[in-house]
Amino acid sequence: GAGVSQSPSNKVTEKGKDVELRCDPISGHTALYWYRQSLGQGLEFLIYFQGNSAPDKSGLPSDRFSAERTGGSVSTLTIQRTQQEDSAVYLCASSFLTGAMYFGPGTRLLVL
Amino acid sequence: RKEVEQDPGPFNVPEGATVAFNCTYSNSASQSFFWYRQDCRKEPKLLMSVYSSGNEDGRFTAQLNRASQYISLLIRDSKLSDSATYLCVVNMRNQGGKLIFGQGTELSVKP
Determine the average pLDDT of the residues in A73-100. 95
Cα separation, B106 vs B37, in Å, equals 10
Mean pLDDT of the residues in chain A: 94
Cα separation, B72 vs B70, in Å, equals 7
Tell me which residue of A18, A25, A21, A17 sits closest to A8, measured CA to CA: A21
CA distance A77 to chain B (A): 18
Query: Using CB atoms, which residue from B31, B101, B104 is nearest to A98?
Result: B31
pLDDT, one tens digit per residue, over B10-32 is 999 999 999 999 999 998 888 89
A111: contact with B, CB 8 A cutoff: no
CB contact under 8 A, A98 and B97: yes
pLDDT (0 to 100) of residue B92: 78
pLDDT, one tens digit per residue, over B84-110 is 999 999 987 777 778 889 999 999 999
pLDDT, one tens digit per residue, over A63-75 is 999 999 988 899 9
Radius of gyration of chain B (CA): 14
DSSP per-residue codes, A9-72: SEEEE-TT--EEEEEEPPTT--EEEEEEE-TT---EEEEEEETTEEEE-TT--STTEEEEE-TT
Question: Where does residue A76 rank: exposed (0-12), middle (13-18), buried (19+ CB within 10 A)?
Answer: middle
Best A32, A39, A41, A43 member to test B by mutation, with max B CBs in 10 Å, is A43
Q: How many CA atoms lie within 13 A of A41 on its CB side?
A: 12
Best B43, B87, B88, B100 member to test A by mutation, with max A CBs in 10 Å, is B43
pLDDT, one tens digit per residue, over A16-68 is 999 999 999 999 999 999 999 998 888 999 999 988 888 888 899 999 999 99
Tell me which residue of A25, A36, A74, A66 sits closest to B101, measured CA to CA: A36
User: Is the CA virtual torsion A17, A72, A58, A87 positive or negative?
Assistant: negative
What are phi and psi for residue B65, nearest 5 degrees? Answer: -120, 100
A45: contact with B, CB 8 A cutoff: yes
Best B27, B31, B39, B98 member to test A by mutation, with max A CBs in 10 Å, is B98
